[in-house]
Structure 1
Amino acid sequence: MSKLMDKQAAMHDFWQKHVLDRWQYDLIEIDQRYSEQKAGIENGFCQAFDALCTQAARQQEQGSKGEIHTIFFSFLRTSIMENSAAYRLDAHDENWFLDRTECTVAWEADFIFAPLFRRMTELEQVKSAYARKITSMDIERIKQSEAIKYHLLAVEFMKSMVPMLLECPGYRQMGKSLKICLLAGEYRDQCEVLYAHPDPADKETNGAGA
């Protein structure tokens, strides 16, 4: 790198040579890891979900929690900063975020995020060639930006697991609204619907037009 390169030019060069589209090469590793550890990954996810629902059912028996209306799978940027792929699962009654009885468990999506963390560690070594124009703070910002791509992969995995989640003993035991939703997104932020309980009225309408 030229010593005359300014900060903006250095960042552009760094991004083009060491970051741009590199995440796509991680897809092969993620897919391979999932194939090799499929049973363990899926069981771990189901166990976390089952533990959440069992906790909610216990709180309902104690009278401190109402019917569950939403289960939220939260992407935690603070955990990404610590090279941890922790997701927070929360069960809320009709009070949503104002639900005063916390019901939460953690799940680790390491099989998806491990390549990201490794790449960022490698970038820490590469940055030395840029004469201090690329800092660890810059790499942290890159990691947060790139992490969204891996989060989207995690959401697709969660969607694929919904049929198994709905069969968990804890979910069946837990008291829940007829309109329960499973959602995924950043903590207390925008989210995507993983599952919404079908409305009987919608079923009848759809059937009539079939």
Structure 2
Amino acid sequence: MREEAMLHFEKHVVQPRVRETLLSLERDYDARSDGWTSGFVEAFRNVCLQARKRQKEAGKAPIAYITFSMLRTALADGRDVYLVEAADQRWFLDREPSFGSYDVSWAFRYVRRLREQLRLEAPAYKGAIVEPDVDRIILREAVKFHQYVVRLGRKAMEHAARLPEFLELERAEEVEVRIGEYWDASEVVFKEDRRPRKDKAVKAWLEERKEYTYAYEAFEKLDLAGGDYSRNDLRYAWFRSCRLSRSRLEQCVLIGTSFGRSDLEGSDLSGSLIHGADFSGCRLEGARLKGTLGAKGLTDPAHWDMPGYPAVRFVEADLTGADLSEADLRGAVFTNARLDDAQWQGARMDGAVLPASYREILPLSDEQRQAVIWMD
């Protein structure tokens, strides 16, 4: 009887309520995440200050890892707080990390709302579903809400990585900022790699097309021009001021990849997944982005299987003569971009933000022209 009740509760109460709550968080995140980043940045600043103080006073080794960790014990106690740690190259084996905390109530108030909804509906099962059952369900489902903390952390690090408190730290040549569960799996939301590396060696390595190897990697000021990197999985990688001109990047996974002011002139990205990729400040003259997929938001707005993708960003990019035909660029941001002679045939542009100065110039269809947002 209890097993049947639990199965019914899961199907008809838990999963619909979880989906509704996550869709509500998705909508609020889309509208309010810019404001929510300040709390993450401040928590990051504070742990950097603590670590720098330790370095000055006690000769603490260079920092290699800054980790934001979800604490299930805190969640069970109703405390919306993550542990923040700055550690040297020993990471979890560092016996003297610097500590801080991060208030995640912006995300976990939705978890509390879900818990209350489940508690209110449990009595209908006449004692078969008790409060500890609800608490176990909440601990299980919390990881879905945690994914928004990861997404926000990645967004916030665009600013946090420029903080003087971080730049003044004695840092290891490789630095990672990670978000995950305490002493468990975590995801890189920022990586810095200042190791001296030879352009030709890195280029040859990328051309090997190894599986599960290049995602979340960081490449700094490397000349990788003319390479064949097609079909590589480069999701959430960082290419900072790199030369990638005339390179083959067709059918790559470039989800969340940052090309920060890199040179992609004449490169071919046709058919690649570019959801949430950042091409801000990049040279993309004559680049091919034909058939790329980079729509913003949920795959299916009526359902939830993961947080929606951020917008693809082409802020201040030079797309002169670029081919964006047949691309799905819904919600993409082209603020202050150069778009002369770019090709848009068949591109999906719903909600894309384009410079108003190109309103009468771009060869868009009537449907495309009505779907975009023109911004001064």
Fold shared, TM-score > 0.5 on shorter chain: yes
TM-aligned CA distance change 1:25 to 1:179, over 3 Å: same
* 197, 203, 207: which one aligns with 1:201: 197
Aligned runs of 1:1-210 on 2, under 5 Å?
6-34=1-29, 37-198=32-193, 199-201=195-197, 205-206=202-203, 207-208=224-225, 209=227, 210=247
TM-aligned CA distance change 1:23 to 1:129, over 3 Å: closer
CA distance in structure 1 between the aligned counterparts of 2:121 and 2:19, rounded to whole angstroms: 19
TM-aligned CA distance change 1:139 to 1:64, over 3 Å: farther
The answer as to whether partners of 2:37 and 2:152 remain within 8 angstroms in 1 is: no
CA distance in structure 2 between the aligned counterparts of 1:155 and 1:97, rounded to whole angstroms: 20
Of 189-198 and 147-156, the range deviating more from structure 2: 189-198
Which protein has the bigger helix share?
1
CA shift at 1:135, angstroms?
0.9
Gaps of 5+ in 1: 1-5
Determine what percentage of the aligned residue pairs are the same residue. 27
What do the CA deviations read for 1:72-113 (whole angstroms, capped 9, x no partner)? 111111111122221111000122222222311111111212
SS across alignment from 2:183:
coil
Matched residue type, 1:126? E
SS across alignment from 1:174:
coil
CA shift at 1:178, angstroms?
1.1
Of 117-126 and 16-25, the range deviating more from structure 2: 16-25
CA distance in structure 2 between the aligned counterparts of 1:139 and 1:102, rounded to whole angstroms: 35
CA distance in structure 2 between the aligned counterparts of 1:26 and 1:177, rounded to whole angstroms: 41
The answer as to whether partners of 2:64 and 2:174 remain within 8 angstroms in 1 is: yes
CA shift at 1:36, angstroms?
5.8
CA distance in structure 2 between the aligned counterparts of 1:108 and 1:144, rounded to whole angstroms: 18
The answer as to whether partners of 1:10 and 1:134 remain within 8 angstroms in 2 is: yes
CA distance in structure 1 between the aligned counterparts of 2:165 and 2:21, rounded to whole angstroms: 34
The answer as to whether partners of 1:73 and 1:183 remain within 8 angstroms in 2 is: yes
What do the CA deviations read for 1:174-205 (whole angstroms, capped 9, x no partner)? 11011111112110112222222235527663
Matched residue type, 1:152? Q
The structure having more radius of gyration, on CA atoms, is 2
CA distance in structure 2 between the aligned counterparts of 1:170 and 1:154, rounded to whole angstroms: 22
CA distance in structure 2 between the aligned counterparts of 1:139 and 1:202, rounded to whole angstroms: 55
Task: State the Cα RMSD in Å.
Answer: 2.0
Matched residue type, 1:189? D
CA distance in structure 2 between the aligned counterparts of 1:24 and 1:169, rounded to whole angstroms: 40
The answer as to whether partners of 1:34 and 1:111 remain within 8 angstroms in 2 is: no
CA shift at 1:70, angstroms?
0.8
The answer as to whether partners of 1:68 and 1:91 remain within 8 angstroms in 2 is: yes
Gaps of 5+ in 2: 204-223, 228-246, 248-376
CA distance in structure 2 between the aligned counterparts of 1:123 and 1:202, rounded to whole angstroms: 56
The answer as to whether partners of 1:33 and 1:111 remain within 8 angstroms in 2 is: no
CA shift at 1:28, angstroms?
4.2
TM-aligned CA distance change 1:35 to 1:149, over 3 Å: closer
Q: How many residues align?
A: 205
CA distance in structure 1 between the aligned counterparts of 2:130 and 2:59, rounded to whole angstroms: 48
Matched residue type, 1:45? F
Matched residue type, 1:12? L
CA shift at 1:63, angstroms?
2.2
